[in-house]
């Protein structure tokens, strides 16, 4: 079974932008000596073709050669692909046919010197597309596509901004359901229903709703835990709009928190501010991580247990990653989260996450949602 995640993306981004991406990719591949590239169904396929679907075990690829893109897709998906992508050269195969023979009819592998592969291609497909003993040099091309995807266009920023705006509205509506005795999974279910009600395609990832001691688990799965007085609450949420994702986290207190929580919360909020302020011409991604990490360490909270953030766009997690060892210089136009946290196992956790974009080497949040831990003040 193949399902369409969001068939409105092509119209929202626009055909000229997709064509421009294809040109940029081809120029990048040629500079590396690649004369054929194969892109698997998935996020990179979506980025280039404007259409996202899951091919399951069936072969679905984009073939990039001679500056042109050909889509090889299962026959049962041909109509949807034709309706939802700008690519006109579409070749389909039936379930009664061998798709790898079709692939080799399109591509003269022996005539290629260097073939680029999307790293998401499964070994099952790879082993049947390319036979042992052929002389072509195979190389990964994910870095070529990632570099293009890292810098967002105005249209992409608009879609990410809409995803964030609508998901924040969904959260605000969901917070009305917060009361003693409610279960984590009940709030998560209500939140994701509100995504649809607000006009999002659906959740970009499984929402994290954690109460009390569960807040100390950064990727907690909502369960049967009931809310009680004095609990901290972490809600990590995001939806998709036009094929693009959002990702936001807010931490709340149910009732009056103690002084330890208040101090930790303000420390996390300050660490996030300092990280964003550290963006300037020539700064590196790890400068942000180290800024937040050092501040929290100096405040007596030890080393931050997880990275500061990650890129966001078609995928919720994509390059660039804000890690302590990422010494790449920040590029204008990149989009990433900034999400410092303090986690005290068995007691409480605090995380504040905004999605930001870099404009004129300033870190600008998409989010408008407040950062007060009081549910009543949101």
Q: Which of the listed residues 149, 165, 192 is the one where a domain comes to its end?
A: 149
| Domain match, 112 and 256 both | no
Could you tell me if residue 44 is inside a domain? yes
Rounded Cα distance, 351 and 233, in Å: 10
Could you tell me if residue 34 is inside a domain? yes
Task: Determine the straight-line distance between the first and last CA of the chain, rounded to whole angstroms.
Answer: 42
Token pair of 362, please?
A: 């300033």
Q: Which of the listed residues 132, 149, 166 is the one where a domain comes to its end?
A: 149
- Helices and strands counted in the chain (H then E): 11, 19
Buried b (16+ CB within 10 A) or exposed e, 273-287: bbbbebbeeebbbbb
| Domain match, 121 and 257 both | no
Report the alpha-carbon angle 264-268-273, nearest 5: 145
pLDDT for the residue 270: 98
Rounded Cα distance, 265 and 373, in Å: 8
| Domain match, 201 and 313 both | yes
We report the CATH number of the domain holding residue 327 as 3.90.230.10
pLDDT for the residue 3: 38
What sign does the CA torsion over 177, 179, 182, 187 have? positive
Could you tell me if residue 77 is inside a domain? yes
Nearest by Cα to 191 from 157, 234, 255, 228: 234
pLDDT for the residue 9: 73
What sign does the CA torsion over 305, 274, 378, 200 have? negative
DSSP string, 168-199: HHHHHHHGGG--TT-BHHHHHHHHHHHHHHTT
Could you tell me if residue 4 is inside a domain? no
For residue 353, the SS3 value is: strand
| Domain match, 232 and 353 both | yes
| Domain match, 204 and 334 both | yes
H/E stretch holding 91: strand 90-93
| Domain match, 142 and 207 both | no
Rounded Cα distance, 288 and 79, in Å: 46
Could you tell me if residue 367 is inside a domain? yes
pLDDT for the residue 108: 82
CA-CA-CA-CA torsion for 325, 48, 58, 130, nearest 10 degrees?
A: -70
| Domain match, 91 and 189 both | no
Task: Name the pTM for this structure.
Answer: 0.93
Rounded Cα distance, 53 and 29, in Å: 25
Token pair of 70, please?
A: 């050909």
Nearest by Cα to 271 from 299, 240, 248, 247: 299
Q: Which of the listed residues 87, 114, 149 is the one where a domain comes to its end?
A: 149
Domain count, the chain: 2
We report the CATH number of the domain holding residue 80 as 3.40.350.10
**Interacting residues of 31 by C-beta distance below 8 A, sequence separation 6+:** none
Could you tell me if residue 285 is inside a domain? yes
CA-CA-CA-CA torsion for 273, 275, 278, 280, nearest 10 degrees?
A: -100
| Domain match, 222 and 328 both | yes
Nearest by Cα to 168 from 367, 372, 329: 367
> Angle, to 10 degrees, between the axis of helix 142-150 and the axis of helix 15-31?
140
Could you tell me if residue 1 is inside a domain? no
Residue 311 burial (CB count, 10 A):
22
Report the alpha-carbon angle 53-57-58, nearest 5: 70
| Domain match, 178 and 219 both | yes
Could you tell me if residue 3 is inside a domain? no
| Domain match, 135 and 164 both | no
Predicted confidence pLDDT, tens digits, the chain (378 residues)? 333 444 457 778 899 999 999 999 999 999 999 999 999 999 999 999 999 888 889 999 999 998 999 999 999 999 999 999 999 999 999 999 999 999 999 988 877 889 999 998 999 999 899 876 676 788 999 999 999 999 999 999 999 999 999 999 999 999 999 999 999 999 999 999 999 999 999 999 999 999 999 999 999 999 999 999 999 999 999 999 999 999 999 999 999 888 999 999 999 999 999 999 999 999 999 999 999 999 999 999 999 989 999 999 999 999 999 999 999 999 999 999 999 999 999 999 999 999 999 999 999 999 999 999 987 655
Residue 349 burial (CB count, 10 A):
25
pLDDT for the residue 53: 85
pLDDT for the residue 135: 66
Nearest by Cα to 113 from 93, 96, 129, 137: 137
Domain extent at residue 210: 154-377
| Domain match, 144 and 161 both | no
**Residue 171 near residue 191 (C-beta atoms within 8 A):** yes
Rounded Cα distance, 349 and 214, in Å: 8
| Domain match, 308 and 369 both | yes
């Amino acid at each position: 079974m193949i399902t369409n995640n969001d068939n409105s993306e092509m119209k929202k981004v626009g055909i000229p932008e997709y064509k421009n991406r294809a040109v940029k990719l081809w120029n990048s591949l040629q500079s590396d000596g690649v004369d054929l590239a194969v892109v698997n169904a998935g996020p990179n396929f979506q980025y280039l073709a404007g259409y996202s679907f899951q091919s399951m075990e069936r072969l679905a690829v984009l073939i990039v050669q001679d500056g042109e893109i050909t889509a090889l897709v299962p026959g049962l998906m041909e109509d949807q692909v034709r309706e939802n992508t700008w690519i006109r050269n579409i070749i389909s195969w039936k379930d009664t046919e061998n798709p790898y023979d079709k692939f080799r009819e399109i591509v003269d592998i022996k005539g290629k010197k260097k073939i680029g592969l999307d790293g998401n291609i499964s070994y099952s497909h790879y082993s049947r597309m390319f036979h042992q003993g052929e002389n072509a040099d195979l190389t990964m091309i994910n870095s070529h596509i990632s570099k293009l995807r890292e810098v967002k266009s105005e249209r992409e920023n608009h879609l990410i901004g809409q995803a964030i705006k609508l998901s924040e509205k969904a959260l605000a509506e969901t917070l009305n359901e917060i009361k003693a005795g409610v279960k984590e999974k009940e709030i998560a279910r209500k939140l994701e229903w509100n995504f649809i009600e607000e006009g999002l395609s659906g959740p970009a990832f499984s929402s994290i709703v954690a109460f009390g001691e569960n807040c100390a688990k950064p990727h907690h799965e909502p369960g049967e835990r009931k809310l009680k007085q004095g609990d901290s609450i972490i809600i990590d949420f995001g939806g998709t709009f036009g094929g693009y994702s959002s990702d936001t986290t807010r931490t709340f207190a149910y009732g009056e928190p103690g002084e330890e929580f208040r101090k930790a919360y303000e420390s996390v909020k300050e660490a996030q501010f300092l990280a964003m302020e550290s963006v300037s011409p020539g700064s590196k991604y790890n400068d942000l991580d180290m800024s937040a990490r050092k501040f929290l360490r100096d405040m007596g909270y030890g080393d931050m247990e997880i990275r500061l953030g990650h890129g966001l766009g078609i995928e919720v997690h994509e390059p660039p990653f804000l890690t302590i060892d990422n010494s790449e210089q920040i590029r204008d136009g990149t989009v990433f989260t900034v999400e410092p946290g303090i986690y005290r196992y068995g007691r409480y956790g605090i995380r504040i996450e905004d999605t930001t974009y870099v404009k004129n080497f300033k870190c600008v949040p998409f989010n408008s949602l407040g950062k007060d831990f009081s549910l009543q003040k949101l």
